[in-house]
Structure 1
Amino acid sequence: MISFNRFFIAAIGSLLLYILSVVILGRRKQTRTIDQQKIPLSELAGIWAESKRTGQIHIKDIAPLWRKSTITEEERSAYLFKYSRTHQWFQKNISDQPWFNQAEAHTEICYQLLRMLEEEDPCPSVVNPSNDVEASWNTNTYNMLGKTSLLDHSLHVAEQTVALLIDIKAHHVIPDAMVAALGHDIGKLPTNRTHLYSLGEHPLAAGRVLAEIKLFGEISRKEEISKAIKHHHMRPEGLIGKTLKKADQKARQQELEEAVNLQKQGGEPGEVPAHKSGFLPAPENSLARQADIDIYGGDEKSRSKNNNSSRAINQINISSWFESKAFLDELKPYINRLEGRRFMAFSMPGGHVYFQPKVIEKVTRKLAEKAGAMDIATMADKDKSMQNVLFSVVEQFRSGNDMIARDLINDQYFGGYFTIKMQSGKTMKGYFTPFKAEAFGSIAELENNKKGILKNFVSVDVYQS
């Protein structure tokens, strides 16, 4: 009887222990579950819905939460550079920027790419194996752009990339795009000139170098970055790819303009660099014109037709989104506005305001998007159809509102080349659309807003070739 009681008591005790352990484990599991579910999906959906109404929260602001790229202390370099200018650039464009706060792996990859570029500097930024895209460039283009080192060109492309993404408020893409920008031409370095390079495939060679960086294989957008680099001289897809190609072209144009300006002026101290003045190289400079063709593609015949010659251009119906007063209101803030020494539009006492076509295009896209005309708002950069749109806009101001200086440009075009004479006697040339100043109010008020280089403009004349 005693044995049975002991057995019964032991059984009851075991059962109680089992029940107690189940309860404890259940509570621990519940605690862990509660800790993990910081924000339920329903609440997150509510945040996104609210953002559409208030504009205070955007998916790009929380995207880094699931794309965070952390590294261990062992994987982090000391960030020591060969050149002080590279160190300063790294600090300004990467270390001190908030979009790299959650992108430690990207920061490390960028550092490694910069060190590769530094170690083999000076290395020219152009290559010439027989099958490479740059092999088709004119000899003068090759020589002019060869004056820029690969390190400097990579920094230029990175700067243009960041500027383009900031302009469209795509800050969350910058870490990935920066890797693409700094690595897009890394295959040109002498130590990376392998079999792929000899075949004229410097983008493929660059992809191989990136693939050998251990951290690169761990970031979420590595495939998109690789494709962007591979296709940056072709027809890229996706935001990173399209941004990289455009940034590369803009950087090359900047480098070209600097080379042309130094060639033309002999590198005289105190000259205004062409890319900072807002002007393209002088149209009479055949070398610069050919280099522009090499950078953006096309041929001499087609490019010349896109200037003031017998090109075919058609007026289209823009009535669904165009309204002259709204357009003028958007154009006015650009007049006599300086960003450093760059400008997009300027007035002259004679009663005219000269706009770069790029300003008209920017306003066109903005107003078209606002009106829902997305076929125009999202038109690809360099799409030739945009010429028809710009012509149609200018024609509305020319024929319908009499706001274009018709004595300065041919009625068949939306702009023309002009020569600007400076107080120093030097001249600069650019392509502009001339408006009558009265469309923007008082010419005296516009002139009073001039500052810097704009105050040195003496006269503007139609360019005579």
Structure 2
Amino acid sequence: MNGLFITTSVIGTGLVVYAARNLFRQVGDGEPMGKPIHEMMEEKTLAEVSRTWNKAALSGNIVDFREIAKLWRESETEQAVVPLPRPAFKHWEIERFFSEMIEKRRTIKGDRRTVIVKLLKLLDEEGDCPSVVNMNPLEAENKYSRETFSMLATIPLYLHTIQVARKFAAKVNQDVMLPDIFIVSLGHDIGKIPSYHDKMYSTVDHPLISAIILNGITEYASLANRDELDKIVREHHLLKAEYPLTKMLKQCDQDVRKEELAVLVGEAVERNKTSYKTEDIPPRKPEPQTVAQKPAAKNGAPPEETRDHPLGALETQDLPDLEALELPSWFDADAILSALKKRINQLEATSKGLRWSAVSTSSGHVFANPEGLWAAVKEVSGMDPDMLAADADEASKRNLLYTFVRELSRINDAIATEYVSEKHYTTKATIVTGAGKGINSLLVPFRARAFGISSATLEMQKSPLLKKMVKDIKPKQEEIETCVL
């Protein structure tokens, strides 16, 4: 009797699982050889399988999960399930999404199908709200400019969400993974729905609210891999994603934002072609009679600038490696240097007091804080959707700044590379205030000559107040050398 061979390959790790081989091979007295199939199965978590798939994809191999689904998914009941009535939706976009992406897929069934339908019903009923929120200070979307936030607020949550789900499904293209892909993509932003968000925003941000809402769905709470799905939803705005699927969700979310902004900016330009020309907006300068300055200390010490840590809450995270991106078509090194030159030794009034973007030193350098350089680049870029979207995505912003700094160094020799380590675009430096206080910061070191002006001339442009705020800037390398000497 010929044996039945069932072979499943997972390319990328060399793992080969034989579900059954020569299952009823006839020998001697006719006893079947080998172990039962269920004893040969090996359990795997979604995270382990996603890592395996990610490695294989990067190596150019194709991984098909259809035959190894039970390695990472709990076994489905074999009992006949009574078909559920077809749900009805009031938004045609959701109706179309269900019809095209959910309704006829045999892999979407049981509790997962129920969760997906409930999420779609929730978005259908309450998803007309804005797709951005910024009430909690921890929200990534707090970093959008006022104009960008206002534009994105016109995109309803339900529409943004189903676009992310479509993009995620197209990227994965594995039917066996689609149920969980749809759950996390449809659920990743439901924490923005006002009936939930307005009650919890003061304590947690929208990814955590989304996870709380998901766990309130009985069928979701019963899923064997619920903890992994929770983690994907909770961490989709973190700088560094632990799971490949989290990274993919984050990328799809970002890609949809760029597409939305491209359309919105185009419409805005058509309405008023001059409204968004940022190059026509000069850097803001404080008016002495209206700017609220930090009061001087009782001992007469000069005012000092206080800055948040450059990475904020991210300083304790394991930062991802920087990646050089393709230069955008609008990139103009001379224009960026010109935009930054206008900010050298200038004070700007902000909600946190007086701030500077770039300061010169007598050593022939100009040190720019990353946000100051980012503002100069945005001025040159106009309303580039990638730049606007990167405001709320720290990883994208870091990669773009790294790319721009590398190019400024290559073309204009504008960067003092002796202070910048490989795979970085900033240097660790100490800002010495007029009172002798040292403030650690991450700054981009430029050569003063790149701006076509002498150090002496730049020093003459400093106001007395700026001199009190920044007496000197010392790269850490120089501090170390001084200590050694």
TM-score (structure 2 length as normaliser): 0.46
Larger radius of gyration between Structure 1 and Structure 2: 1
